[in-house]
Amino acid sequence: MKNKLSLFLLFSLLLSFVACTTIYNYDLSISGLDDLPATKACLEKYLPKSIDAQKGKQNKELQVIALSFDNYQDEITDSLISDSVEFKDNSYLLKFKIIAIDPFDGTSEFVVEKQYFLHN
């Protein structure tokens, strides 16, 4: 009987801990690309408008989004060419920030640096 009661209390505590986590909806945007309008538009096409994440854990979600841009390398490279960037040694280091705004207007910035190469 004591074991069942102990297990029930432990399960109840774990369940209440999980139920008490705060989930925020973060609005997303890109900054640092105002001088590259075609590239900014290309990235914004693949950037979700918002994400749901635990308070303080939004950077994990933003990292996944930044990695997903790898799926669109050719299109992003084409947009860089449209913006007339100078490719040195056939490569260009693109730097920008993903901004996440929580419901209370707090902001988080996730810096993204990706290398893009000219097509052969």
Three-state DSSP state, 37: helix
Q: What is the pLDDT of residues 46-72, one digit of tens each?
A: 999 999 998 888 999 999 999 999 999
pLDDT of residue 98: 97
The overall average pLDDT reported for the chain is 88
Q: What is the pLDDT of residue 35?
A: 96
Give every strand in the sheet of 23-31, ordered side by side. Answer: 50-54, 23-31, 91-101, 107-117
pLDDT per residue as tens digits for the range 15-39: 665 556 778 899 999 999 999 999 9
Domain ranges of the chain: 23-117
Q: What is the pLDDT, as a whole number, of residue 24?
A: 87
